[in-house]
Chains A and B, each alone.
Chain A
Amino acid sequence: MKFLCVECDRQMQFEERQLPGDGTLAAAFRCPACGRVVALLTNPMETQLVASLGVKIGGTTLPPQPMETVRGMVVTGREDAFDEGRERGAGSGPIWSMEAQERLARVPNFVRGMVKRIYLDYAKDRGIAEITPAVMDTARTELGLEGM
Chain B
Amino acid sequence: MPLNIRTYHELTEADRSGLGDQIMTQRRRVADRLATVRRVVAVLSGKGGVGKSFVTAGLARALARSGRAAGVLDADFNGPTIPPLLSLPVARCTLHEDGIEPLVSAEGVRCFSMAFLVEDGRPLAFRGPDTESFVWRGALEAATLREFLADVAWGALDELLVDLPPGVQRFQELTELLPAPPAVLAVTIPTPESRDAVRRALRAAIELKAAPLGVVDNMVGGPFAGSAADELAAEFGIPVLARVPFHPTDDVFAGIARKLGSSR
Q: Give chain A's interface residues, CB within 8 Å of chain B.
A: 1-2, 4, 6, 9, 11, 13-14, 23, 27, 44-45, 48-49, 52-60, 64, 66-70, 72-84, 86-88, 110, 113, 147
Q: A55 near B22 (CB under 8 angstroms)?
A: yes
Check if B128 sits within 8 Å of A48, measured CB to CB.
Answer: yes
The listed residue (B5, B90, B116) touching A4 by CB distance below 8 A is: B5
For chains A and B in complex, what number of residue pairs have CB atoms within 8 angstroms?
140
Bound Cα distance A117, B132 (Å):
32
Does B13 make an interface contact (CB < 8 A)?
A: yes
27 contacting pairs across A/B (C-beta < 8 A): A1-B17, A2-B11, A6-B4, A11-B11, A45-B132, A49-B139, A54-B26, A54-B143, A54-B147, A59-B17, A66-B96, A66-B147, A67-B100, A69-B140, A70-B143, A73-B126, A73-B128, A74-B127, A76-B118, A77-B118, A78-B116, A78-B117, A82-B92, A83-B95, A110-B117, A113-B95, A147-B127
- Interface residue from A4, A66, A74, A87 paired with B118 (Cβ < 8 Å): A74
Is the Cβ of B95 less than 8 Å from the Cβ of A87?
yes
- Tell me if B106 counts as interface (CB < 8 A to partner A): no
Known: A1-B17, A48-B129, A67-B151. A74 touches B26 (CB 8 A): no
- Using Cβ atoms and an 8 Å threshold, which residues of chain B touch A45? 129, 132, 135-136
Q: Is the CB of B95 within 8 A of A86?
A: yes
- Add 20 more A-B contacts to A54-B26, A73-B140 (CB < 8 A): A1-B15, A1-B17, A1-B19, A4-B5, A6-B3, A23-B129, A55-B19, A55-B22, A55-B23, A59-B16, A59-B18, A69-B147, A75-B127, A76-B118, A76-B123, A76-B124, A78-B90, A78-B116, A81-B116, A83-B92
Instruction: Give Cα distance in the complex from A52 to B29, angstroms.
Output: 17
Enumerate B110-146 residues with CB–CB distance to A below 8 Å. Answer: 116-120, 122-129, 132, 135-136, 139-140, 143-144, 146
Minimum C-beta distance from B131 to chain A (A):
9
Inter-chain contacts of B3 with A (CB < 8 A): 6
B residues contacting the other copy or chain, number (CB 8 A): 50
Q: Report the separation of the CA atoms of residues A56 and B19 in the bound assembly, to the nearest whole angstrom.
A: 7
B residues in contact with A73, CB < 8 Å: 126-128, 140
A23 to B136, CA, bound (A): 14
Q: Are B126 and A74 in contact (CB under 8 A)?
A: yes
Task: Determine whether the beta carbon of A58 is less than 8 Å from that of B16.
Answer: yes
B219-248 interface bits toward A, Cβ cutoff 8 Å, 1 = contact, 0 = none: 000000000000000000000000000000
Contact status B5-A81, CB under 8 Å: no
Min CB gap A97→B, angstroms: 25
Bound CA span A2–B120, Å? 45
List, in ascending order, chain B residues with CB within 8 A of A70's CB: 117, 143-144, 147
With A59-B17, A70-B144 in contact, do A52 and B4 touch (Cβ < 8 Å)? no
Q: Which of these, B22, B97, B118, B120, contacts A88 with CB under 8 Å?
A: B97
- Does chain A have a CB within 8 A of B94? yes
* A82 adjacent to B93 (CB under 8 Å): yes
A6 contact set on B, CB distance < 8 A: 3-5
The answer to whether A74 and B125 touch across the interface, beta carbons within 8 angstroms, is yes
